[in-house]
Amino acid sequence: MDQHSILIIGGGIGGLATTIALLNLGYKVELIEREIEWTALGAGLTFNGATARAFRTIGVLDEVLSAGFSHGTSSICDKDGRVMVESSNEEVYGPGIPPMGGILRPVLHDIMKHRALSLGLNVRTGVTAQSLELNENRTDVIFSDGSVGRYDLVIGADGLRSQTRQQIFPDAPRPTFTGQGSWRAVGPRPSEVKTSALYFGTEFKAGINPVSQEEMYLFLLVAEPNNPWIDPADWPRTLRAKLAGFGGHIAALRETLGPDSRIVYRPLETLVLPGPWFRQRVLLIGDAAHATTPHVGYGAGLAVEDAIVLAELLGEGLPLDAALRAFMQRRYQRCAKIVSGSVKLGQLEIDQAPVAQQRALSRELFSLIQEPA
């Protein structure tokens, strides 16, 4: 195997998955992460069956399943939690691969980080790539700590506000606000909550999803046409008010919310960078290239799939230029369809379209998701 030297910028889900996939193949990988404290903030993360399939490919599924929670059913409920439709999904993604699950984001991060470190990852935290000098066959990097490096391939996995994207495509479109805000909060899991449930409220859609034996998380999507800034100190009070119309387990979790609760509010922004997502020997993956909304629980899955496809192509021994072109052929359409479908689903929610119409689009997206990456 040709031993390329590879730099990964960003130690989130996409950067870590790429690191693991390439280290599994025996590549030499360096990773830089901007944050000194290399951790993941946030509440719960939903994974669908394709994400679970991708976790299995990079070898972390067993750990994810034992630290998280998985299931094969999901329910659509009215605002008080009365089940209107229950769908049971078999293991359509393969034996032992659950169609749906949840995990706390920091727990997933720790699993992936420890796997990468155990494979011999060379990581520097608190460091960014201050400048990238692109050449035909290599990229020269000056790091923020003053050190320098030369790489056959640089992978920008630095998220929605990617500095790498800005450096290689200064005129790239900026992420677009979708008109919705997303709330998440973690709370205790009552023993009877064993699956995810989506509650259709009069104005908003909310839901619950178990993330471990002890905990579940609540999510709420709200139309916020003016994209207000909400002071984090007000998050508990604001979220409680927005959940006022819900009953069932959502009402019970709402009553636990206070200043110490793990709550996250984010305006939803998306991006599909026009292809190609590489310039000479610098490639963008994950949210840096295609950022989606949480509607089908797949942003993380798409980032992990990017890692898998790239590793597969490099593992086949293709020359780098050919591998990058083949990567685009495999990834662009799938990612673009998921992002545009998710945005459409959000728009149906904003428009308060009939439940049947929202479910039909959701089913369409899930059949696309089931196809191999």
Ligand X SMILES: Cc1cc2nc3c(=O)[nH]c(=O)nc-3n(C[C@H](O)[C@H](O)[C@H](O)COP(=O)(O)OP(=O)(O)OC[C@H]3O[C@@H](n4cnc5c(N)ncnc54)[C@H](O)[C@@H]3O)c2cc1C
How far apart CA 297 and CA 283 sit, in angstroms, is 24
The answer to whether 262 and 216 have CB atoms below 8 angstroms apart is no
Quick one: which of 14, 98, 207, 346 contacts ligand X (CB under 6 A)? 14
By beta carbon distance, the residue nearest ligand X is: 12
Interface mask (CB under 6 A) for ligand X, residues 146-165, using x and -? -----------xxx---x--
Q: What are phi and psi of 187, to 5 degrees?
A: -150, 175
Residue 372 Cβ, how far from ligand X at the closest point, in Å?
18
| 303 is an interface residue for ligand X by CB under 6 A | yes
Taking the least distance from each CB to ligand X, the nearer of 52 and 314 is 52
| 10 is an interface residue for ligand X by CB under 6 A | yes
How far apart CA 4 and CA 311 sit, in angstroms, is 12
Taking the least distance from each CB to ligand X, the nearer of 140 and 247 is 140
Taking the least distance from each CB to ligand X, the nearer of 75 and 209 is 209
The answer to whether 34 and 62 have CB atoms below 8 angstroms apart is no
The answer to whether 32 and 16 have CB atoms below 8 angstroms apart is no
The answer to whether 156 and 288 have CB atoms below 8 angstroms apart is yes
- Give, for 119, the enclosing helix (H) or strand (E): none
Taking the least distance from each CB to ligand X, the nearer of 100 and 313 is 100
Residue 2 Cβ, how far from ligand X at the closest point, in Å?
26
| 204 is an interface residue for ligand X by CB under 6 A | no
Quick one: which of 4, 28, 34, 124 contacts ligand X (CB under 6 A)? 34
| 11 is an interface residue for ligand X by CB under 6 A | yes
Residue 245 Cβ, how far from ligand X at the closest point, in Å?
21
How far apart CA 181 and CA 199 sit, in angstroms, is 17
| 33 is an interface residue for ligand X by CB under 6 A | yes
| 257 is an interface residue for ligand X by CB under 6 A | no
Taking the least distance from each CB to ligand X, the nearer of 167 and 358 is 167
Q: Of the ranges 33-41, 70-78, 116-124, 245-253, which one interacts with ligand X (CB under 6 A)?
A: 33-41
Residues 6+ apart with CB under 8 A from 300: 13, 45, 47, 51, 108
Nearest one of 174, 177, 207, 154 to 269, comparing CA atoms: 177
